[in-house]
Structure 1
């Protein structure tokens, strides 16, 4: 497949499509990530490869990526340079979405809808020997979904929606490997935008609103009782009068992990306590429900990038 010597560019009322393979992370970032995705990419250091099939039509585009594990980072405020748009990302494997101070573990087949002006990073985990697979779509010139009640993004775990989006995106992908004009006249991006708006409207009016409220209540309870060493699925199921299966389902439907939510709440509380200087690390480990010091140190460093220290 041909590798371009310069960034892929597309102008208003123009189109381009093709397939590319890269073995150099710098060239991939300069020629594809920055001009097409509006993002940077940092591989995890274990080697690099990337294959991309893309179709860019005016302000919209579809990119199918198979890439080494790493982190895609996109700055905010890109509407000024890329036009008004929102992103639709279909994850074929697990990933971690970070926006500001918030991090969310996303299961495979998640559909993430993101305001085009929101800054975020997406950490991609290894799926198989072939790398991480992502469908990344930018939808412009169309009314975005209502993200006002969300923090600039929404996560949906509907497998039919994911399959519909991927199936539609395939219709505008290039048949061969050469880079050239995109000949597709079907308004695929409009279809995808309509499907997302309809799905979001459906879950807002007909979806498990009580479950979303229950999810928020459970998270608040976790924060309040973070010091309780018995905090876990059994305790939460009893407290809220639901089965453990229902409890796990609520977290799954909100693209979250119960274990990670509890662990994160404990780590955040422990960090705040250590920053006050009132307790030593050893006593914080006991007070905040960690089973042993190695678990605490390992997860603390993974979360904050540094080892815990008393002031």
Structure 2
């Protein structure tokens, strides 16, 4: 199930493991001395589509999906089943590291596909839920009884992970969009003299659809058209009041092809006509 290699930090290597495999799913609990756990990418055997879940009781550094993510106690890392990763484990209070690794068969959560195949969350309740269920199929010794085999434990774990990631994505979405809104605003302020500044340019620049672009401004209680207009008017006002350039030149430089449109909007915005 693991298809993994472990390289201990020192010569004093100790490890204890208990595991179970039920169909295409499985769970393993490791208590191991510090070192680096490395898992090759690709699906093996008849595992089919699955996700890997790491629940850490200690500290570690996860390298996966082209990024490095520090893991603290109760961290839950969810990875695409074919993703290669390495996990550097450091000793906890007992001098060893504890790790639950689960292979859960089934389709990947949509949120996982949007995050380069790996998501890391810190939720003590989710970690306790996953570990608690996994313990039901990890006896200290002997075979797994038929009653325990009949419990769809990995289905419960899979649903819990999907629901948690979906909720987390809904909560983070508005914050991500709010940050994107401010980045777009900054881009507009820097490019007020660009005649092509508008929805098409912004959508290309930030790799989003125009519908998404407009919704970001709507959610921020702003108008894209008014935002661009105001940024151009503000920049034009500063140049006009600084002097040294004719008003007609400033108007053209700031994206206004029609002087009457500029004067009308300038007076509406500032309450007076432009003057040097």
TM-score range, shorter chain: 0.5 to 0.7
1:58 maps to which residue?
A: 23
Q: Which structure 2 residues correspond to residues 40-79 of structure 1 after superposition, within 5 A?
A: 40-79=5-44
Q: Which runs of 5+ in 1 are unaligned?
A: 1-35, 219-311
Distance 2:3 2:178 in 1: 35
Distance 2:94 2:171 in 1: 40
Q: Give 3-state SS (helix, strand or coil) of 1:78's partner.
A: coil
Q: Detail structure 1 runs of 4+ shifted over 4 Å in the superposition.
A: 211-215
Cα 1:149–1:52 shift into 2, 3 Å: same
Q: Give 3-state SS (helix, strand or coil) of 1:143's partner.
A: coil
Cα 1:44–1:214 shift into 2, 3 Å: farther
Q: CA RMSD in A?
A: 2.3
Give the TM-score normalised by structure 2: 0.60
Whether 2:104 is the aligned partner of 1:144: answer: no
Give the TM-score normalised by structure 1: 0.53
Whether 2:102 is the aligned partner of 1:177: answer: no
**Partners of 2:41 and 2:82 within 8 A in 1:** yes
Distance 2:96 2:33 in 1: 5
State the 1:95 CA deviation.
0.6
> Which of 85, 88, 93 is the matching residue for 2:58?
93
Cα 1:129–1:158 shift into 2, 3 Å: closer
State the 1:170 CA deviation.
1.3
State the 1:111 CA deviation.
0.4
Q: Which runs of 5+ in 2 are unaligned?
A: 184-276
Cα 1:125–1:212 shift into 2, 3 Å: farther
Aligned residues: 179
Higher-Rg member (1/2): 2
**Partners of 1:54 and 1:63 within 8 A in 2:** yes
Cα 1:47–1:149 shift into 2, 3 Å: same
State the 1:182 CA deviation.
5.1
Cα 1:84–1:212 shift into 2, 3 Å: same
Distance 1:151 1:42 in 2: 26
